[in-house]
Amino acid sequence: SQKIEQNSEALNIQEGKTATLTCNYTNYSPAYLQWYRQDPGRGPVFLLLIRENEKEKRKERLKVTFDTTLKQSLFHITASQPADSATYLCALDGGSGNTGKLIFGQGTTLQVKP
């Protein structure tokens, strides 16, 4: 069955550094991958989408890469700030036959210290 893995351990970094979060998947080939941010007690908020034929996507201080050979996406936040502290979820499309559904990873919590 389809499986998504994100680092379950929290990532703690110093303000100004680059945070890198990992999303690995197995057993299928998604057409696209999305990253969401979730603050405690609130709903996830969409950040970025990258398609299978794209290697990299950027938005302001955010960068996402998608390696379909390694079955991995990396999510980078450059010049991190304490306000970036949150849980970040990756989500993949459900594959052929599951159009319109997303499969979410369990999320990685990022803590940026001043």
Partner 1 sequence: DADVTQTPRNRITKTGKRIMLECSQTKGHDRMYWYRQDPGLGLQLIYYSFDVKDINKGEISDGYSVSRQAQAKFSLSLESAIPNQTALYFCATSDPGQGPDTQYFGPGTRLTVL
3 versus 17: smaller Cβ distance to partner 1: 3
Q: What does DSSP say about strands 108-113 and 11-14: parallel, antiparallel, or unpaired? A: parallel
> Which residues lie below 8 Å from residue 102, measured CB to CB, with a gap of 6+?
34, 91, 92, 93, 94
Q: Rounded to the nearest whole angstrom, what is the least distance from the CB of residue 110 to partner 1 in the complex?
A: 16
Name residue 64's beta-bridge partners. Answer: 57, 75
Q: Which of 32, 18, 111 is nearest to 63 (CA)?
A: 18
Could you list the residues that contact partner 1 (CB under 8 A)? 8, 31-32, 34, 41-46, 49, 51, 89, 91, 93, 99-102, 104-107
- Which lies closer to partner 1 via its Cβ, residue 81 or residue 98? 98
Q: Which is nearer to partner 1, 43 or 114 (CB)?
A: 43
As a dihedral over the C-alpha atoms of residue 30, residue 92, residue 71, residue 51, rounded to 10 degrees, the angle is: 60
How many other C-beta atoms are found inside a 10 Å radius of the C-beta of residue 35? 23
Residue 34 vs 65, nearer CB to partner 1: 34
